[in-house]
Amino acid sequence: MVDHGGDQILSDCVVLMCAVGGRDEAEAIATALVEARLAACVQLLPVDSVYRWEGKTERASEVMLHAKMTRDRLVEAEALIKARHSYALPEIIAVPIVGGSAEYLAWVRASVETSGQP
């Protein structure tokens, strides 16, 4: 729920996070998400990860995608990512947006609608 001066509304916007192995793969997935109108915007951030995989502690330099979208686009976004991702088990996590600029969130919604062209 988001509090706007006493009014509470349920936000339908989310940030999908996904780590990928390199810049080229990140750019390809980000572009595909935006062109398919599954995400309004995708940020590509370099990260260093430490994680457990197959019983061992691993380290990797990766690129983290932060895709802003609506909750109803998540299933399609997950399918697109899995089809293009090089990892056997890609990280795909969605976090609700609980606050933010009303104008920005309206732009996110409009950008992922299949009927409009913001």
Whole-number pLDDT of residue 75: 97
- Count CA within 13 A, CB hemisphere, residue 118: 18
> What's the CA angle centered on 92, arms 54 and 65, to 5 degrees?
110
Please report, for residues 1, 45, 50, 53, 62, the alpha-carbon distance to residue 105 in angstroms, rounded to integers and kept in the order given: 14, 21, 32, 36, 28
Instruction: Give the pTM.
Output: 0.88
What integer pLDDT is reported at residue 4 of this predicted model?
Answer: 53
Is residue 108 a contact partner of residue 40, using CB atoms and an 8 Å limit?
yes
Strand partners, 49: 60
CB atoms within 10 A of CB 84: 14
pLDDT for the residue numbered 118? 53
Reading the chain (118 residues) residue by residue, the pLDDT tens digits are 445 554 445 679 999 999 999 999 999 999 999 999 999 999 999 999 999 999 999 999 999 999 999 999 999 999 999 999 999 999 999 999 998 889 999 999 999 998 655 5
CB 10 within 8 A of CB 95: no
So what's the pLDDT on residue 11? 79
Report the pLDDT value the prediction gives residue 39, as an integer from 0 to 100.
98
Quick one: pLDDT at residue 5? 54
